[in-house]
């Protein structure tokens, strides 16, 4: 997996629209398409791609802490947003794109620094204009549940006016 270093490294919207959502996500996992740079900054990567299911794996580091020395809630939120929204992406057809409309995160317990976790996103519904998914963050070694989330994504067809 390689991370985009500049906007020029990312796929154009036309290129994204020319493949299915699941092919787009699988291409990132296989290294054919660049991974978004946010993953490098926040130390997480795509781990599993399935039909309506995505797993990102990551480890919070000191740089991801808030002033109290615990993992910032934005780290949880970004991982869950990525997992849940990308799960929706796996269900959209060629010619469509998506973006997060809203998401909610419930943090259940702090993730100790250096703990490897999976952010798992699962699609609940994908229609013509919206996709809904839920997600969770779990410890890789102990399966401990750290956070839950839900999302609603808007599905767009940029070429249909």
What pTM did the predictor assign?
A: 0.93
Residue 142 φ then ψ, to 5°: -120, 0
- Helix 73-89 crosses helix 21-30 at what angle (to 10 degrees)? 120
Q: What is the pLDDT of residues 13-51, one digit of tens each?
A: 899 999 999 999 999 999 999 999 999 999 999 999 999
- Spatial distance between the Cα atoms of 76 and 99, rounded to a whole number of angstroms: 18
Q: Residue 160 has what pLDDT?
A: 56
Q: Residue 9 has what pLDDT?
A: 86
- Give, in degrees to the nearest 5, the angle at Cα 76 between 72 and 77: 105
Q: What is the pLDDT of residues 111-134, one digit of tens each?
A: 999 999 999 999 999 999 999 999
What is the residue-averaged pLDDT of the chain? 94
Contacts of 12 (CB under 8 A, 6+ apart): none
Domains of the chain: 7-156 (3.10.129.10)
What mean pLDDT is predicted for residues 91-102? 95
Contacts of 15 (CB under 8 A, 6+ apart): none
């Amino acid at each position: 997996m390689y991370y985009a270093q500049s906007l020029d490294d990312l796929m154009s919207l036309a290129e994204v629209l020319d493949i299915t959502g699941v092919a787009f996500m699988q291409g990132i996992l296989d290294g054919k398409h660049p991974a978004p740079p946010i993953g490098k900054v926040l130390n997480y990567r795509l781990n599993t791609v399935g039909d309506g299911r995505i797993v990102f794996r990551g480890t919070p580091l000191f740089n991801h802490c808030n002033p109290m020395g615990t993992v910032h809630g934005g780290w949880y939120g970004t991982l869950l947003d990525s997992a849940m929204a990308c799960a929706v992406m796996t269900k959209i057809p060629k010619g469509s794109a998506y973006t997060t409309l809203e998401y909610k995160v419930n943090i259940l317990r702090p993730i100790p620094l250096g703990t490897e976790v999976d952010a798992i996103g699962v699609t609940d519904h994908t229609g013509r204009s919206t996709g809904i998914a839920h997600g969770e963050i779990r410890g890789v070694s102990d399966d401990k549940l750290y956070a839950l989330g839900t999302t609603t994504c808007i599905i767009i067809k940029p070429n249909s006016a």
